[in-house]
Amino acid sequence: MQAIRKIVGADILARLFTLPAAFANRRIEIVMRPVEDEQVDIERFLCGAVPWSEATDAEMEAGYRAMAADEEYEREAKEWIEGMRREIADD
């Protein structure tokens, strides 16, 4: 089964969904899989699809800050989210 994993800013994702207040000004990880695979044990799938990290909160925050500073990565993430928004609007 294929999956897509992206990390985007909450401000971008908030254009599509109402997010909890705790998500404000944070990076959000999105894992998507095809709907026709509904019978898959999602917890087991995610544990296998998303590599485990023993990074500290400080290390994770530094990594997210580095990604946010990467203008090309941010541009690609925004394009990806806008594409999702258009697809949802078309449905």
What is the predicted pLDDT for the residue at 51? 60
pLDDT tens for each residue of 13-63: 888 778 888 888 888 888 777 766 556 665 665 555 556 667 777 887 888
According to the model, what pLDDT value does residue 89 have? 77
In the prediction, which pLDDT does 39 show? 63
pLDDT recorded at residue 24: 84
HEC sequence for the chain: CCCEEEEEEHHHHCCCCCCCHHHCCCEEEEEECCHHHCCCCHHHHHHHHCCCCCCCHHHHHHHHHHHHHCHHHHHHHHHHHHHHHHHHHHC
Q: What pLDDT was estimated at residue 71?
A: 87
